[in-house]
């Protein structure tokens, strides 16, 4: 069974971005143990109150430009950007970022998408995650063998 993994990375080499600061997701297609880059999906949202809807701008104050909203779902349009990014990768089995905030984690949980907060090389993340899912999909033990 094939599945997709979304990775937040600035360069495609390292998992180095928080979910909220990710402007693009590297989407990898996995089938058994074969992994390939399928596409790069751009997150279209811009940040700051000028990019928000007019009603969000009215509810916004100057603290938004200084990180005052910080994704907590209040003011500056709420969690709309989080919902847009989650929808962008909702066909993926998991998302891998340096850090995924509480609001985004809740949205992924509703869609049964796993979240991995790690900061490593993309190749290492893919190796470990695909190994994990391979064992789950083939009903193998997740315990380490004594020789490992």
Identify the structural domains of the chain with CATH numbers, from first to last.
1-44+78-120 (3.30.420.130)
The answer to whether residue 137 scores a pLDDT higher than 60 is yes
Q: What is the pTM of this model?
A: 0.77
Higher pLDDT, 32 or 107: 107
Q: Would you say 16 and 121 are in contact if contact means Cβ atoms under 8 Å apart?
A: no
pLDDT at 147: 59
What percent of the chain is modeled with pLDDT above 70? 75
DSSP state of 16: -
Average pLDDT over residues 81-87: 95
pLDDT by residue (tens digit) across 127-136? 999 999 999 9
Average pLDDT over residues 83-107: 97
The answer to whether residue 61 scores a pLDDT higher than 80 is no
pLDDT at 47: 47
């Amino acid at each position: 069974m094939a599945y997709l993994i979304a990775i937040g990375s600035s360069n495609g080499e390292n998992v180095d971005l928080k979910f909220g600061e990710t402007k693009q997701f590297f989407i990898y297609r996995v089938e058994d143990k074969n992994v390939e880059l399928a596409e790069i999906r751009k997150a279209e949202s811009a940040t700051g109150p000028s990019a928000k809807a007019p009603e969000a701008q009215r509810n916004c104050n100057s603290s938004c430009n200084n990180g005052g909203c910080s994704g907590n779902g209040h003011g500056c349009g709420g969690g709309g950007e989080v919902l847009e990014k989650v929808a962008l990768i909702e066909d993926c089995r998991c998302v891998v970022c340096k850090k995924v905030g509480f609001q985004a984690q809740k949205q992924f949980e509703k869609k049964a998408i796993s979240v991995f907060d790690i900061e490593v090389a993309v190749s290492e993340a893919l190796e470990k995650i695909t190994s994990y899912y391979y064992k789950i999909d083939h009903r193998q033990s997740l315990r380490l063998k004594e020789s490992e």
